[in-house]
Chains A and B, each alone.
Chain A
């Protein structure tokens, strides 16, 4: 184990010379406990430290009182039901159900077909927060940066009911 040997001081007179000889043996400090504690702290800090900061998704909302007119042909509506099933439609077409897995290719294809595409996302209030993040993540991955979130209204509920029946 690590130990410290103290160098003996050089004396001039005889008295000190005698002492020096005794000191020659050296003081051995047992460093084991200190090193133990050091390793304990090291493991503690290594385990508790978190290297990565959490990721975030940036969202820009339009100011409250702006209204944008969108042509129906450019409007893609995504509706998410309470149970997480996703329905999409262009303009006023009949909504079609889409799997979450096939949402990404669908969005990519739509975005490529129509660069002016504007997406409207409507999520049921009783749905989960995760659904919103998932859908927005898919939109971001499909490079659709222009989308807006709108509340789901009774009209939408009825449309969905009609589509799923």
Chain B
């Protein structure tokens, strides 16, 4: 009888180290994670071999969607409320008309001169719109900008 009772205790595995490691990883991921800002439209990026990384802050994004709509986004709330009005302060991107784009770009640059301009176009967007956007950028004296791309695998 006592023999049976002894085996009943079962094998006890000490889980403490595993749980320790799990918590360590959890803290690591919680601290390093950066949530992707929600986008107004889904953009499928074209791929390229360029390995230049996107700057982390002070970015002004001009997004061109597949159906040729243009969105302007700034990653700074202060600038955002300045150019789009306080009610749009929390929206990451605001749809703009191509005719207003030049004006808004100038305003944004005046509010924060160190903004870097980034053009994020959908792979299947019409080239004509991209050409117009680049034209506007050139006219507003933003002659240096970046195109967001995915890394090509081949």
Q: Least Cβ distance of B53 to chain A in Å?
A: 5
Is the Cβ of A129 less than 8 Å from the Cβ of B64? yes
List residues of chain A with CB within 8 A of the CB of B125: 128-129
- Least CB distance from B43 to A in Å reads 10
Q: Do residues B141 and A63 form an inter-chain contact, with CB atoms below 8 A?
A: yes
Per-position binary interface string of chain B over residues 112-154, scored 1 when its CB falls under 8 Å from any chain A CB and 0 otherwise: 0000001001111111111100100111010111111111100
Q: Is the CB of B33 within 8 A of A45?
A: yes
A145 to B97, CA, bound (A): 32
Which has the most chain A C-beta neighbours within 10 Å: B64, B144, B149? Answer: B149
Contact B146 A35 (CB under 8 A): no
Interface-located stretch among A7-15, A86-94, A134-142 = A134-142
Return chain B residues, CB-CB under 8 Å to A151. Answer: 131
Contacting pair B143 A130 (CB below 8 A): no
Known contacts A2-B16, A140-B49: A38-B146 contact under CB 8 Å = no
- Chain B residues with CB under 8 A of A134: 46, 48
In the complex the two chains form, what is the Cα distance from A148 to B149 in whole Å?
A: 19
Contact (Cβ within 8 A) A39 B22:
yes
Q: Which of B24-32, B71-79, B88-96 contacts A (4 or more CB under 8 A)?
A: B24-32
Smallest beta-carbon distance A60→chain B, Å: 5
| Nearest CB of chain A from residue B71's CB, rounded to whole Å | 15
* Total chain B interface residues with beta-carbon distance under 8 A: 54
> Given A55-B151, A56-B147, A58-B144, do A2 and B19 touch, yes or no (CB 8 Å)?
yes
B5 within 8 A of A: no
Nearest to A46 among chain B residues (CB) is: B29
Contact of A35 among B22, B30, B50 (CB under 8 A): B22
Query: Across the interface, do B29 and A60 meet the contact criterion of CB distance under 8 Å?
Result: no
The answer to whether B99 has its CB under 8 Å from any CB of chain A is no
**A129 near B121 (CB under 8 angstroms)?**
yes
A132 contacts partner chain B, Cβ-Cβ < 8 Å = yes
CA distance A132 to B132 in the complex (A): 13
Choose among B15, B53, B147 the residue that contacts A53 (Cβ–Cβ < 8 A).
B53
- Total number of A residues with any Cβ neighbor in B under 8 Å: 44
Q: Is A25 an interface residue (CB 8 A)?
A: no
Cβ–Cβ contact B127 & A129, under 8 A: yes
Query: Interface code B37-57, partner A: CB below 8 Å = 1, 0 otherwise?
Result: 000000001111111111010
Distance in Å: Cβ of A123 to nearest Cβ of chain B: 5
A48: CB under 8 A from chain B? Answer: yes
Q: Of B19, B34, B129, which contacts A31 at CB under 8 A?
A: B19
A49 beta carbon closer than 8 Å to chain B: yes
B126 touches A126 (CB 8 A): yes
Mark interface residues in A103-137 (1 if CB within 8 Å of B CB, else 0): 00000000000000000000111111111111011
CB–CB A55/B54 < 8 A: yes
Most buried by A among B14, B29, B36: B29
B interface list, Cβ under 8 A from A? 14-16, 19, 22-23, 25-26, 29-30, 32-36, 45-54, 56, 64, 118, 121-131, 134, 137-139, 141, 143-152
